[in-house]
Amino acid sequence: MRIYKTEDYKKMSKKAARIIASQIIMKPNCVLGLATGSTPIGLYKYLVKWYQKGELDFSEVVSVNLDEYKGLPKSNDQSYDYFMRDNLFGLVNIDAANTYLPDGLAEDSDLECERYERLIRSLGGVDLQLLGMGHNGHIGFNEPGDAFDLATHCVDLQPSTIEANKRFFASADDVPKQAYSMGIGTIMKAKKILLIVSGEDKAETLKKALHGPITPKLPASVLQLHPDVTVVGDAAAFSKM
Ligand code: F6R
Q: What is the DSSP string of 191-236?
A: SEEEEEE-SGGGHHHHHHHHHS---TTSGGGGGGG-SSEEEEEETT
What residue ranges line ligand 1, CB within 6 angstroms? 35-39, 66-67, 132-134, 138-141
pLDDT tens across 73-97, in order? 999 999 999 999 999 999 999 999 9
Mean pLDDT of 140-167: 88
pLDDT at site 38: 95
Counting atoms of ligand 1 from 1, which one is nearest the CA of 199? Answer: 16
235 has pLDDT over 80 = yes
Mean pLDDT of 3-24: 98
pLDDT at site 172: 87
7 has pLDDT over 80 = yes
Q: Separation of 175 CA from ligand 1 center, angstroms? A: 15
Question: Is 77 one of the catalytic residues?
Answer: no
Residue minimizing CA distance to atom 1 of ligand 1: 36
Rounded CA-CA distance 19/151 in Å is 26
pLDDT at site 160: 83
Burial of 126 per CB tally in 10 Å (0-12, 13-18, 19+): buried
Residue 240 near residue 12 (C-beta atoms within 8 A):
no
- Work out whether the CA dihedral 103, 106, 109, 115 comes out positive or negative: negative
Residue 186 near residue 117 (C-beta atoms within 8 A):
yes
Q: Determine the 3-state secondary structure of 53 from DSSP.
A: coil
Determine which one of 98, 136, 200, 204 is catalytic: 136
Rounded CA-CA distance 161/33 in Å is 21
Average pLDDT value over all residues in the chain: 96
Question: Is 67 one of the catalytic residues?
Answer: yes
pLDDT tens across 124-134, in order? 999 999 999 99
What is the number of residues in the chain?
241
Share of the chain above pLDDT 70, in %: 100
Q: How many CB atoms lie within 10 A of CB 12?
A: 26
Q: Which of 39, 78, 198 to mutate to test the pocket of ligand 1 (most atoms within 8 A of CB)?
A: 39
149 has pLDDT over 80 = no
pLDDT at site 146: 74
**pTM recorded for the entire structure:** 0.97
pLDDT at site 218: 97
